[in-house]
Structure 1
Amino acid sequence: MMRRTEITEETELPGKWFHRLEDGRIQCDLCPRNCRLREGQKGYCFVRERCGERIVLATWGRSSGFCIDPIEKKPLNHFYPGTPVLSFGTAGCNLGCKFCQNHEISSARQWDRLAQSAAPTQIATAAQEISVRAVAFTYNDPVIYAEYAIDTARACRARGIHPIAVTAGYISPKARGEFFSVMDAANIDLKGFNEDFYWHLTGAHLTNILDNIAWVVHNTSTWVELTTLIIPGYNDDRAQLQAECEWIARELGTEIPLHFTAFHPDHKMLDTLPTPLQTLRTAREIALEAGLKHVYLGNVHDPEADTTYCAGCGKALIRRDWYQLREYNLVAGKCPDCGKALAGHFDSRPGTWGSRSCPVRLYRSAALF
Structure 2
Amino acid sequence: MTAPETRHPARYWHRLDDGRIECDLCPRTCRLHEGQRAACFVRQMDRGEMVLTTWGRSSGFCIDPIEKKPLNHFHPGSKVLSFGTAGCNLACKFCQNWDISKSRDMDRLMDTATPEAIASAAAHHDCRSVAFTYNDPVIFAEYAIDTADACHQRGVKTVAVTAGYIHGQGREDFFRHVDAANVDLKAFSEAFYFKLTGAHLAPVLDTLYWLRHETKVWLEITTLLIPGENDSDDELRALSDWVVRELGPDVPLHFTAFHPDYKLDRHPATPLATVRRARQIAMDAGAHYVYTGNVRDTEGSTTLCPACHTALIVRDGYQIMHYALTREGHCSNCGHAIAGHFDQHAGDFGNRRIPVRISAHAP
Residue 331 of structure 1 is matched in structure 2 by: 326
1:97-176 maps to which residues of 2 (within 5 A)? 97-176=92-171
- 3-state secondary structure, aligned to 1:45: coil
Residue 26 of structure 1 is matched in structure 2 by: 21
Preserved CA contact (<8 Å) 1:35 1:44:
yes
Q: Shift of residue 313 of structure 1?
A: 1.3
- 3-state secondary structure, aligned to 2:146: helix
2:203 to 204, 208, 215: 208
Residue 349 of structure 1 is matched in structure 2 by: 345
2:178 is the alignment partner of 1:192: no
Q: Shift of residue 113 of structure 1?
A: 3.5
- 3-state secondary structure, aligned to 2:159: strand
Q: Shift of residue 91 of structure 1?
A: 0.2
Q: Shift of residue 314 of structure 1?
A: 1.0
Q: Shift of residue 217 of structure 1?
A: 1.0
Q: Shift of residue 270 of structure 1?
A: 1.3
C-alpha RMSD of the superposition = 1.3
1:95-117 Cα offsets, whole Å, 9 max, x none, are: 00000010010011112441111
1:40-119 maps to which residues of 2 (within 5 A)? 40-119=35-114
Preserved CA contact (<8 Å) 1:7 1:118:
no
**Cα distance 1:12–1:236, how it changes in 2: closer, same or farther (>3 A)?**
closer
Q: Shift of residue 24 of structure 1?
A: 1.6
Q: Shift of residue 11 of structure 1?
A: 8.2
Preserved CA contact (<8 Å) 2:116 2:361:
no
1:211-267 Cα offsets, whole Å, 9 max, x none, are: 011101111111010000000000001111100000000000001100000000000
1:261-281 Cα offsets, whole Å, 9 max, x none, are: 000000000121000111111
Preserved CA contact (<8 Å) 2:116 2:362:
no
**Cα distance 1:277–1:7, how it changes in 2: closer, same or farther (>3 A)?**
farther
2:228 to 204, 209, 233: 233
- Which letter maps to 2:315? R
Residue 316 of structure 2 is matched in structure 1 by: 321
Unaligned runs of at least 5 residues, structure 2: none
Query: Aligned partners of 1:94, 1:39: CA distance in 2, in Å?
Result: 20
**Cα distance 1:11–1:233, how it changes in 2: closer, same or farther (>3 A)?**
closer
- 3-state secondary structure, aligned to 1:362: coil
Q: Shift of residue 363 of structure 1?
A: 2.3
Query: Aligned partners of 2:67, 2:4: CA distance in 1, in Å?
Result: 32
Preserved CA contact (<8 Å) 2:7 2:51:
no
Preserved CA contact (<8 Å) 1:255 1:294:
yes
Residue 356 of structure 2 is matched in structure 1 by: 360
Unaligned runs of at least 5 residues, structure 1: 1-5
- 3-state secondary structure, aligned to 2:277: helix
| Number of matched pairs | 362
Q: Shift of residue 12 of structure 1?
A: 5.6
TM-score (norm 2): 0.97
Q: Shift of residue 340 of structure 1?
A: 1.1
- Which letter maps to 1:42? R
Query: Aligned partners of 1:9, 1:114: CA distance in 2, in Å?
Result: 12
**Cα distance 1:7–1:138, how it changes in 2: closer, same or farther (>3 A)?**
farther
Preserved CA contact (<8 Å) 1:7 1:119:
no
Query: Aligned partners of 1:10, 1:147: CA distance in 2, in Å?
Result: 13
1:267-324 Cα offsets, whole Å, 9 max, x none, are: 0001210001111111111101100010000011110110000111111110001000
- 3-state secondary structure, aligned to 2:321: strand
1:203-352 maps to which residues of 2 (within 5 A)? 203-332=198-327, 333-352=329-348
2:6 is the alignment partner of 1:14: no
Residue 3 of structure 1 is matched in structure 2 by: none
1:5-48 Cα offsets, whole Å, 9 max, x none, are: x4744586120000111222100011000000011100001110
Query: Aligned partners of 2:140, 2:362: CA distance in 1, in Å?
Result: 23
